A = this chain, B = another copy of it.
């Protein structure tokens, strides 16, 4: 394992791996195993869904998990980067929440090992949901009787069911239900030869033959299945110096190195899933590449040092569109209330600017 990790981390993955993986087209599992310390239960998933959609988990009551990871579309926000509290912008593009449960590390730089680890990050991040402290999150939730009750039901054996770690567990449990099986690709892999068009099949072959599968392997097209917390990272760009580097500002953000501080991790990134990639433009960690065809060109050049023909690009894009899965129908949660008052501070009402425009 150590050996492999070093190989992967240094971007030296052998190309013959591609050939091996290419013969292993896998359908997306319909369910994802939960960790031993956070088993799925119906009440926990329902609680997690409420929390996921509750904007009161943000300082001003305006942002929920769903604001940046919108499950009503591709699981992101269709933006280059996200808009956090007080119009703050981070430097990275929201990854999709769909099938995130299949990734062995979370965030672009893999700085969270699990969905549970990830979930608390944005809530407390000063440029995202910006809650001032865990204590303040728990205080707010504690003022909503239905949450108090649901935390008790979801975590019945705990002395303090309403906690930040249980909030994270509930959200993670909900996120484990966000799987998009049965794409055209999945149907094809399961034996329905008519599920893909001829162009998509050509694209699929190119995808393997060009070497895309060296990194985008496995059922989730995000690399081999690794233990939770062990990320599958790759250098981007692997072949430096292309025109795209400056055009799309690809190397300023050092990726994994921004977490570890190690030189060897510079511009190393978690290999993202390609599931539903047609729905998650704009592309890459900084969301600077507007379209999937251009993203394909960038990848071919920076990772494989290849220039593709327009036909190859079109074939690959067609294939990638076959990875758009079925999104399970969901009911909207009813968010708990604290009747007759609000958990949000009235002190936040000041006008930004001095508009005399009428609103509501």
Please list the residues of chain A having a beta carbon within 8 angstroms of any beta carbon in chain B. 53, 55-56, 60-62, 67-68, 70-74, 77-84, 86-95, 107-109, 111, 122, 125-128, 258-259, 278-279, 281-282, 286-288, 290-293, 317, 321, 324, 327, 329-335, 337, 339-344, 346, 348-353, 355, 357-360
| Cα(A293)–Cα(B340), bound, Å | 7
The answer to whether B344 touches A93, judged by C-beta atoms less than 8 angstroms apart, is no
By a CB distance below 8 angstroms, the chain B residues around A60 are 79, 83
By a CB distance below 8 angstroms, the chain B residues around A55 are 70, 77
The answer to whether B89 touches A342, judged by C-beta atoms less than 8 angstroms apart, is no
Q: A87-B352, A290-B346 are in contact. List 17 more A-B contacts (CB 8 A).
A: A60-B83, A62-B67, A62-B83, A70-B335, A71-B332, A79-B342, A80-B349, A81-B349, A88-B352, A90-B355, A90-B358, A91-B358, A111-B358, A281-B341, A292-B341, A293-B340, A317-B340
| Cα(A331)–Cα(B341), bound, Å | 28
Most buried by B among A68, A126, A340: A340
By a CB distance below 8 angstroms, the chain B residues around A81 are 349, 359
Tell me how far the C-beta of A177 lies from the nearest C-beta in chain B, rounded to whole angstroms: 13
Tell me how far the C-beta of A24 lies from the nearest C-beta in chain B, rounded to whole angstroms: 26
Tell me how far the C-beta of A154 lies from the nearest C-beta in chain B, rounded to whole angstroms: 19
